[in-house]
Amino acid sequence: MPFPLERPRRLRDNLTLRELLRETRLSPLDLIYPIFVVPGRGVKAPISSLPRQFHLSPDKAAELAQDFYADGGRALLLFGLPDHKDEVGSSGADDKGPVQEAIRSIKSRVPEMLVITDVCLCEYTSHGHCGVLQDGRVLNDPTLKLLAAQALSHARAGADLVAPSDMMDGRVGAIRENLDQNGFERVPIMSYSVKYASAFYGPFREAANSAPQTGDRKGYQMDPANIREAAYEASLDLQEGADILMVKPAGPYLDVLREIRRLTARPLAAYQVSGEFFMLCAAAEQGGLDYKSAAFESLLGIKRAGADLILTYLAPEFLTW
């Protein structure tokens, strides 16, 4: 009988002891902040579906980058809302697109900022799907070269890292090959390896104006019920040359995060998505929980489960806490 010899409470007796023995620590360097860039100048417009988040023109994105850096933030993830959409999302590979302009303007203002770009077609296609659409189906192989072209355009503009989120088969390999053939072998790929067809993307789709006009994304994003498939997806991305893997969403998928952590020695990221952020904001606003403590706990849980990096809309607030 361990008790009364064993008393776990001994090590919880005071704050200093608890702090010294803490197993998981969060740092500003764990966080990547996703932002939404739009064409134009002087634009900083609040996003109705995402509290305290903005649509930013490239110049305003650079201003935000400067403030974020001064507060200790080191990495941004860029999403773009283009002027023009078409069937095949060609504006995604436009060297003068909002993401490409924002990369240049952030880099010229804050050269040390790590600029990551989301590579996907859904913000750039008129139908809102993440690939080429034909008879209600998203075609895999024709989508690959469009994604590879977009990633190359981001690299040319100065992106430090590209992050494909489309879930087409073979995209990591296709992007790697195109980057390498064009002299960007040093640019790493952070792959959204394990991305579920989740209801938690709701607020984002409004923010990015990227909701599919017909159908859903279940033909390419993963079934939330599956975890063996997560391991399979991750292993394929590793074979294709992914440098960093990602699990998305994060909070409802901590078991998946743990599973992938065990599977690979590569760095692992987790995306605390728009719906997770929104739930925290809404619950706090309703008086149901303390925002700061609950937000902190949500990030701690993601890190404890095995994430090295967390993509989160909480990043700027976290830095001020």
143 near ligand PBG, judged by CB under 6 A: no
The region of 20-28, 105-113, 118-126, 238-246 touching ligand PBG under the rule CB under 6 A is 118-126
220 near ligand PBG, judged by CB under 6 A: no
In the bound complex, what is the minimum distance in angstroms from residue 73's beta carbon to ligand PBG? 17
105 near ligand PBG, judged by CB under 6 A: no
In the bound complex, what is the minimum distance in angstroms from residue 38's beta carbon to ligand PBG? 16
Q: Which is nearer to ligand PBG, 47 or 110 (CB)?
A: 47
150 near ligand PBG, judged by CB under 6 A: no
Q: Which is nearer to ligand PBG, 109 or 205 (CB)?
A: 205
CB 151 within 8 A of CB 173: no
Just list the catalytic residues: 195, 248
Residue of minimal Cβ distance to ligand PBG: 204
233 near ligand PBG, judged by CB under 6 A: no
The region of 24-32, 114-122, 179-187, 231-239 touching ligand PBG under the rule CB under 6 A is 114-122
120 near ligand PBG, judged by CB under 6 A: yes
3-state per-residue secondary structure call for the chain: CCCCCCCHHHHHCCHHHHHHCCCCCCCHHHEEEEEEECCCCCCEEECCCCCCCEEECHHHHHHHHHHHHHCCCCEEEEEECCCCCECCCHHHHCCCCHHHHHHHHHHHHCCCCEEEEEECCCCCECCCCCCEEECCEEECHHHHHHHHHHHHHHHHHCCCEEEECCCCCCHHHHHHHHHHHCCCCCCCEEEEEEEECCHHHHHHHHHCCCCCCCCCCCCCCECCCCCHHHHHHHHHHHHHCCCEEEEECCHHHHHHHHHHHHHCCCCEEEEECHHHHHHHHHHHHCCCCCHHHHHHHHHHHHHHCCCCEEEECCHHHHHHC
In the bound complex, what is the minimum distance in angstroms from residue 186's beta carbon to ligand PBG? 24
204 near ligand PBG, judged by CB under 6 A: yes
274 near ligand PBG, judged by CB under 6 A: yes
In the bound complex, what is the minimum distance in angstroms from residue 32's beta carbon to ligand PBG? 12
Q: Which is nearer to ligand PBG, 100 or 165 (CB)?
A: 165
Q: Which of 31, 56, 78, 130 binds ligand PBG (CB under 6 A)?
A: 130
273 vs 314: CA distance, rounded Å? 10
273 near ligand PBG, judged by CB under 6 A: yes
Residues that bind ligand PBG (CB under 6 A): 118, 120, 122, 130, 165, 201, 204-205, 217, 273-274
